[in-house]
Amino acid sequence: MTALDDIDTLALKAGDKRTWHRFVAASASLVHAVTRRVMAAHGGTADDALDAAQDVYVRLVANERRLVQGFDPARASLATWLAVVGRSCAIDHLRRRRQPTSALEDVPEAAMAVEGRHVERLNIPTGLLTDRQALVLKLLYDRDMDVADAARFLNVDAQTVRSTHHKAMLRLREHFDVEDRAGRG
Amino acid sequence: MERDDGPGSAPDAAGRALWRRLKNTSAAPVPVGAEPPVGALDLAAWLDGKLPASEAARVERYLASHPAALDAALDASLALSEATAAAPERLSTRAQALVGFAVEGRAGGRGWFRWIGSWRRSVEFAAVAIGFVGVSGTGYALGGGLHETYAAEARRDAVALELVTNPLAAFDTGELWAEIQLDRGGRR
């Protein structure tokens, strides 16, 4: 079977039928894995996951393959991009089943991947933690991930995660010590 | 063997307590223009580790403050490692059939000109036109063509004119006249 990395993305964007067949054959397990994960998290069934996976492909080819046109092989791998887009399509599929809304393929790419409207701010001065440190703490404490999983997600080794956590804790303790002393004084 | 940075290098209860203290969760809409959104390609590039440091920091800042975006990144990352089981055959079969069908060119209200201008629509029009011409031509040829039609019409017009101007000549009375002559001769 062809790997996604071997797909000719230019031919895919041009709508070449043979390339599309190879793309589907190479990507079906990934797309299905994404939709299974999304549906499982939202109480969906195996059939729902299959419907959502089918919908991912429909959206990929809709409007003259508009979603596919947004892919840039110089920036990311096709598999990772497809996982992100497939996940967004699956979430959109769920939303549309609940209430009609604008189709994902009609939404600008820049606003597509991250659908979060809720913002969580940390109650600390800006710059106290680096972006990476804040993300590591979030993964370890909010998401209850273990160090190995967080490391895999961040594409670093486990020791780097531990080190990042340690440095973040030092900064936070220092900050709150100063704050506590100021409060007592 | 992994090096340990000492107390605090791994998540613990003290760290969790500290984390709770600094969290101040608010459900507020993102102010427009305050933070450029992270697109699918940005997120994929970050997951692949292909972003330069400044871009990666922007994505990480976004993920740290947007729970839904972090969910998306985690789901995509985990799905990539879970995509080992083969998908049902019917998924591939149906998906492969999508290219070349109407859904691919679904215009979504882009207007007549785009619809007419698409090459596939043009080919369809041409095929119908060629078929129409072919059927018409065949029927016409079988009917004898223009000359035959005009000739038949001219003959009908000539007979009608003869009937008005010279009613007797309009009929072939030769045989009738010969019979009359024969009868007369016979009586003789």
Cα separation, B146 vs B134, whole angstroms: 17
Report the C-alpha gap between B184 and B188 in whole angstroms.
Answer: 7
Most confident of the ranges A31-40, A102-111, B176-185: A31-40
**Identity of residue A184:** R
Residue B97 lies in a domain: no
Most A CBs within 10 Å, among B1, B92, B120, to test the A interface: B92
Say yes or no to pLDDT of A162 above 90: yes
Give the nearest partner residue to B40 out of A15, A50, A84, using CB atoms. A84
Domain assignment present for residue B177? The answer is yes
Instruction: Name A141's Cβ contacts closer than 8 Å, sequence gap at least 6.
Output: B11, B15, B16, B19
Q: pLDDT of B1-55, one tens digit each?
A: 444 455 557 788 888 888 887 775 444 444 545 667 889 999 999 999 999 999 9
A14 in Cβ contact with A23 (< 8 Å): no
Helix (H) or strand (E) holding B8: none
Under a CB-based contact definition with an 8 Å cutoff, are residues B11 and A140 in contact?
yes
Tell whether B95 is covered by a domain: no
Inter-helix orientation angle A78-98/B40-47, to 10°: 130
Q: What is the pLDDT of residues A104-132, one digit of tens each?
A: 555 545 445 455 567 777 777 778 899 99
Q: Domains in chain A, please, with CATH?
A: 4-111 (1.10.1740.10), 131-184 (1.10.10)
Domain contains B109: no
Domain boundary among B74, B103, B133: B74
Angle between helices A17-41 and B67-82 (to 10 degrees): 120
Interface predicted TM-score of the whole assembly (ipTM), two decimals? 0.84
- Name the residue range of residue B55's domain: 35-74
Domain contains B167: yes
Q: Distance between alpha carbon A113 and the CA centroid of its chain, in Å?
A: 7
B8 contacts on A by Cβ (under 8 Å) = 165-166, 169-170
Q: How many domains does chain B have?
A: 2
Three-state SS at B36: coil
Q: Note whether residue B127 is domain-resident.
A: yes
